[in-house]
Amino acid sequence: MSRIAEHPILGPLKPSGREVSILVDGEEVIAYEGEMIAAALMASGRRVFRYTEKRREPRGLYCAIGRCTDCVMIVNGIPNVRTCVTPVEPGMIIETQRGIGRWGGGDHGIH
Amino acid sequence: MKRYCDSLVIGGGIIGLSCGYYLSREGFKVQVIDSMEFGSGSSGACDDMILLQSKKPGVVLELAMESLEMYRFLHMELGCDLGFKQMGGMILIENQEELAVMEEFVSSQRSCGLNVDIVDREELRRRQPHVSDRFISSTYSPDDSQVDPFLVMKGFINAGQRLGMEVRYREAAVTAEKNGAGRWQVLTSTGCIVEAENVVISAGAWSNIVGGLFDISIPIFPRRGQLLITEKIPPIGETNLWSASYMVTKLRPDLAKVRENQSEYNELGLGFSFTRTAHGNYLIGSTREEQAGFKKLVDYRALEALSRQVAHIIPLMRHVHIIRHIAGFRPATPDGKMILGPWPGKEGLYVASGHEGDGIAMAPITGKLLSDIFTGRKSITNMKELIPRCMVV
């Protein structure tokens, strides 16, 4: 895990949520409830969140404020979810998105 | 400066360009002018459907079927891709009352040769797994198709230009009169006079404004529609979708049920259409607004109503982002049929306009019919229902 524990301006940083488990491409990742999905993935060493539609190029966190849509992934079966502004919930199923992605996959809230 | 041609087409949307192309193909020297920019009117603010199922049996359905057959081969004739795709279409039925009306409608369409059927709940689920359980059945036609309107317009322009057609945007007709030889003299906003044997008005929702230059009153008025556009998403179901409630309201107004927010519903003229573009964005429509005039504005009320409607019909859509909201003007006529043919009492003046929501579907057949009238291949007595006629706006 690589997280900033001591920030030069903000001072000591302690995650406020409890530790929960999420599933990323089938692997268990420990995250803090309420932190952004992208933060948990970066902390676990993941940098590639999706592959582009036409040229299949890797993309990851870019603007980190919900504008650029580069960090979208399939979350609980829903494609195009901006992981930098979507908080972690326990048991979330997160998948790398290829192109425009697909509906479903894993346990999801689709009906 | 003065320019000469056989036919001056006023209005460079998909209809004007189709007319221009088919007239050029017959050897006429054609010039097309448009006061605005390529695709700036209704041809660039519409969905992309060649929808047969919404057409009432009769001349409109027959021509739509003929137009679809033309579209199947048009890319070869124009020599470019038109984004033609046949995804089929379904009209969703929510209750027994709607089912009864749609069964009658579908059987009358079938007797006209349209390939359409009513399917049961199981087939509806199979083709459309994300549609809400409240729908009891649906129509299904494999023939409903779509094209990219911009590619079709570009195709007509390029193929027309190879035949000598000239197209000018940002050039408006300002005045029109006849000279001693009986030829039209149309002064344009660039200071040109275009002398033409014939003039074709194909200015869509704006046709009556152009008609004013020729001292005629064309019964065409703008009926605004607002559309939402989603981000690119994976396909939802096999076909494009519509709802029967709108069709039933049109076919049997006495059955129109009382809804919540009835007045808002009436004012917006809400109907449901859901179509996938070639790029994977969905177009969610739409409103039919009578009172908006030429105000090309979108409003929050329509955004809310359209979003609520799509989430009600396809709950999954609550998770999808809307990235644009656009408005356009359907060129509407009082009797719902296009106007095509020579204007009575005005030698050399023709109208090809008033397709309401069917301009994309009807574009090839409209240009073809007009060229048939010009060459005398088609007698206008066979087209009584479409030639310019008296209607009260």
pLDDT tens digits for B330-358? 999 999 899 999 999 999 999 999 999 99
Task: Choose the final residue of a domain: B311, B332, B353.
Answer: B332
Q: Does B131 map to a domain?
A: yes
Tell me: do B347 and B212 sit in the same domain: yes
Mean pLDDT is lowest, of A9-18, B82-91, B339-348, for A9-18
Instruction: State whether A80 and B315 contact (CB < 8 Å).
Output: no
Q: How far is CA B81 from CA B45, B77, B114, B265, in A?
A: 20, 10, 26, 39
Burial of B79 (0-12, 13-18, 19+ CB in 10 A): exposed
Q: Does B80 map to a domain?
A: no
Q: Which residues of B touch A78 (CB under 8 A)?
A: 319
Q: What is the DSSP letter of B242?
A: E
Instruction: State whether A80 and B236 contact (CB < 8 Å).
Output: no
Q: Does B200 map to a domain?
A: yes
Q: Does B97 map to a domain?
A: yes
Tell me: do B25 and B157 sit in the same domain: yes
Listing from the earlier edge strand, what are the strands of the sheet with B137-140? B117-119, B137-140, B89-93, B240-243, B273-276, B281-285, B221-232, B322-332
CATH number at residue B319: 3.30.9.10
Please give the average per-residue pLDDT across B131-139, as a whole number: 97
Tell me: do B248 and B313 sit in the same domain: yes
Instruction: State whether B315 and A78 contact (CB < 8 Å).
Output: no
Q: Which residues of B touch A79 (CB under 8 A)?
A: 233-234
Tell me: do B195 and B328 sit in the same domain: no
- Domain of residue B181: give its range: 2-46+149-219+335-383
> Which among B143, B146, B85 is positioned nearest to B116, based on CA atoms?
B143
pLDDT tens per residue across span B255-283: 665 555 566 677 888 999 999 998 899 99
Mean pLDDT is lowest, of B51-60, B62-71, B176-185, for B51-60
Give percent above pLDDT 90 in chain B. Answer: 84
B257 in contact with A at a CB cutoff of 8 Å?
Answer: no
Mind listing the domains of chain A with CATH numbers?
6-98 (3.10.20.440)
Burial of A15 (0-12, 13-18, 19+ CB in 10 A): middle
Q: Does B247 map to a domain?
A: yes
Tell me: do B37 and B180 sit in the same domain: yes
Opening angle at CA A23, ends A18 and A25, nearest 5 = 150
| Residue ranges of B 91-130 with Cβ closer than 8 A to chain A | 130
- Distance between CA atoms of A90 and A68, rounded to whole angstroms? 26
pLDDT value at B119 more than 80: yes
Please report the pLDDT score of residue B246 as a whole number.
76
Please report the pLDDT score of residue A110 as a whole number.
46
Please report the pLDDT score of residue B257 as a whole number.
58
Chain A residues whose C-beta is within 8 A of a chain B C-beta are 53, 78-81, 100-103, 110-111
In a mutational test of the A interface, the residue from B319, B320, B323 whose CB has the highest number of chain A CBs within 10 Å is: B319
Q: How many domains does chain B have?
A: 2
Give percent above pLDDT 90 in chain A. Answer: 80
Q: Which residues of A touch B321 (CB under 8 A)?
A: 80
Q: Which residues of B touch A102 (CB under 8 A)?
A: 234
Please give the average per-residue pLDDT across B357-385, as a whole number: 90
Please give the average per-residue pLDDT across B107-130, as a whole number: 96
Nearest residue on chain B to A98, alpha-carbon basis: B234
Average pLDDT of chain B is 93
Q: What is the DSSP letter of B112?
A: T
CA B61 to chain centre: 13
Quick check: B219 and B334 in contact, CB under 8 A?
yes
Tell me: do B240 and B356 sit in the same domain: no
Q: Does B318 map to a domain?
A: yes
Mean pLDDT is lowest, of B173-182, B252-261, B376-385, for B252-261
Q: Does B169 map to a domain?
A: yes
pLDDT tens per residue across span A18-77: 999 999 999 999 999 999 999 999 999 999 999 999 999 999 999 999 999 999 999 999
pLDDT value at B196 more than 50: yes
SS3 assignment, position B288: coil
B311 in contact with A at a CB cutoff of 8 Å?
Answer: no
CATH number at residue B17: 3.50.50.60
Using pLDDT thresholds of 50, 70 and 90, give the confidence band for residue B379: confident
Using pLDDT thresholds of 50, 70 and 90, give the confidence band for residue B136: very high
| Residue ranges of B 67-86 with Cβ closer than 8 A to chain A | none
In a mutational test of the B interface, the residue from A73, A76, A80 whose CB has the highest number of chain B CBs within 10 Å is: A80
Instruction: State whether A100 and B320 contact (CB < 8 Å).
Output: no
Q: Does B67 map to a domain?
A: no
